Amino acid sequence: MLTIKVLGSGCQNCQNLASLAARAVGTLSIEAKIEKVTDHVEIMKYKILATPGLVINERVVSAGRVPSEAEITTFLTNALAAE
């Protein structure tokens, strides 16, 4: 099972990213846990300069923008292949 974290303050872009990630998980029909991380101290551990950030299995795959659903699907597929 994949662990997906959306890093950010809870702004509209963070919410959009979480929604797109959930849709990509549904499209691939995979098991994944999606977490929203809003604590600034926790976010800083990932060393990103801008939010929203997307972390899959503790690996930062995107920061400072909202990737498309197709990009997120690719990120998830790559993470599954690396397991």
What's the confidence (pLDDT) of residue 71?
A: 97
Structure confidence by residue, pLDDT tens digits, 33-66: 999 999 999 999 999 999 999 999 999 999 999 9
> Domains in the chain, please, with CATH?
2-82 (3.40.30.10)
Percentage with pLDDT > 70 across the chain: 100
What's the confidence (pLDDT) of residue 83?
A: 81
What's the confidence (pLDDT) of residue 67?
A: 97
Do 77 and 34 contact (CB within 8 A), yes or no? no
Mean pLDDT value across the chain: 96
Please compute the mean of the pLDDT values over residues 19-29 and round it to a whole number.
96
